[in-house]
Amino acid sequence: MSEASHVIRLRAAWRHDAASGVAERRFHRPTGLEGGDRVWLVFDEPAPAGATVALNGGALALDASRADITEQLEASNELRVDASGDVGLWVASAQLEIVTVA
């Protein structure tokens, strides 16, 4: 069994307020997903201490720096990060990794 992946970077279009530590970004469900595909939200580094990440209003449990968001995806999605302090550089590393198991 082998895995193939495709990456969609989410670095632009973030709305964030450095003072409050809130960052938000909208994105559409990736096209062409098939039954066995998994979509992961991935950051370059683990979340800052105390940060919470939510997709479409539901909290995500990050495993270090990634979470499987396949089941939470909708046609239009909102990603929200709440943290103390500026998370601009951290959220700029966000990407969607689409993994297909062949």
When pLDDT is cut at 50, 70 and 90, the band that residue 30 belongs to is: very high
The answer on pLDDT for 2 being more than 60 is no
When pLDDT is cut at 50, 70 and 90, the band that residue 102 belongs to is: low
The answer on pLDDT for 1 being more than 60 is no
C-alpha 63 chain-centroid distance: 12
The answer on pLDDT for 35 being more than 80 is yes
Per-residue pLDDT tens digits for 39-94: 999 999 998 888 999 999 999 999 889 999 999 999 999 999 999 878 888 999 99
Give the helix/strand (H/E) hosting 88. Answer: helix 88-91
Domain residues of the chain, as ranges?
A: 3-101
Helices (H) and strands (E) in the chain, counts: 1, 9
CATH for 3-101 (3.30.930.10, 2.30.30.140, 1.10.3720.10, 2.60.120.260): 2.60.120.260
